[in-house]
Amino acid sequence: MANSLFEKYGGFSTIHSIVIEFYNSVLDSDVVGPFFDGTDMESLIDHQTKFISFLLGGPVSYPEAKLKAAHSNLDIQSPHFDTIKSLLGETLTAFDVEEADIEAVLEKIETYRTVIAA
Ligand code: HEM
């Protein structure tokens, strides 16, 4: 039996696919899409795959200081954070992640609100 959400949902390869789909919806959004003008999406997808894998108990660590540094100059407000969070929830639903597991992931994401948004 899988002992982490990371294993339960198929590890890096599934999470990588989820993250690609997530950023497609982020870039399509008028609210948060413009923040990513000029971002190297390939490297962002790599980092985000690592971060989400870390959140799900995968074999990788991701320091909070790095997350803070990546967002500190972007003037991100709480409503932007809400939008990103709900887009992630929608993507996880589209990948058939169970409702209880989605809630667990979003609760973990929520603990980073003050790290990411001003
Ligand atoms: C909801 C929780 C969020 C998580 C878990 C998250 C996670 C990440 C991660 C892991 C990176 C890569 C950092 C690195 O290079 O090491 C990143 C970069 C970035 N994030 Fe977020 N993020 C979140 C919210 C947001 C929000 C709300 C915005 C803006 C609306 C945003 C905009 C960006 C941008 C523009 C970059 C790339 C910066 C660059 O070009 O280097 N993020 N994020």
Whether 94 is covered by a domain: the verdict is yes
Instruction: Look up tokens 């590890």; give the residue.
Output: 11
Number of domains in the chain: 1
Flag whether 81 is in a domain.
yes
The ligand 1 atom nearest the CA atom of 44? 12
Give domain status of residue 78, yes or no: yes
Residue 64 main-chain phi, psi, to 5 deg: -60, -35
- Could you tell me which of 52, 51, 43, 65 has the C-alpha nearest to residue 5? 52
Q: Which helix (H) or strand (E) holds 117?
A: none
Is 1 a residue whose pLDDT tops 60?
Answer: no
Q: What is the predicted pLDDT for the residue at 75?
A: 96
Tokens of 34: 């413009």
Check whether 108 has a pLDDT greater than 90. Answer: yes
Q: What is the model's pTM?
A: 0.95
3 state SS for 31-60? CCHHHHCCCCHHHHHHHHHHHHHHHCCCCC
Q: How far is the first Cα of the chain from the last one, in angstroms, to the nearest whole number?
A: 40
Q: Residue 27 is part of a domain; what is its CATH number?
A: 1.10.490.10
pLDDT in tens, 33-89: 999 999 999 999 999 999 999 999 999 999 999 999 999 999 999 999 999 999 999
Mutate to test the pocket of ligand 1, among 16, 35, 55, 71 (most ligand atoms within 8 A of CB): 71
Classify residue 4: in a domain, yes or no: no
CB of 19 closer than 8 Å to CB of 69: no
Output the average pLDDT for the chain: 96
pLDDT of residue 22: 97
The answer to whether position 108 is within a domain reads: yes
Pocket mutation for ligand 1, best pick of 60, 83, 108, 116 (most atoms within 8 Å of C-beta): 116
Q: What percent of the chain has pLDDT over 90?
A: 97
In a domain, 82, yes or no: yes
Extract the tokens encoding 44. 């962002």
- Residue ranges making up the domain that contains 77: 10-33+40-116
For residue 3, what pLDDT is reported? 83
Q: How far is the CA of 71 from the centre of ligand 1 (A)?
A: 6
Domain contains 2: no
44 within some domain: yes
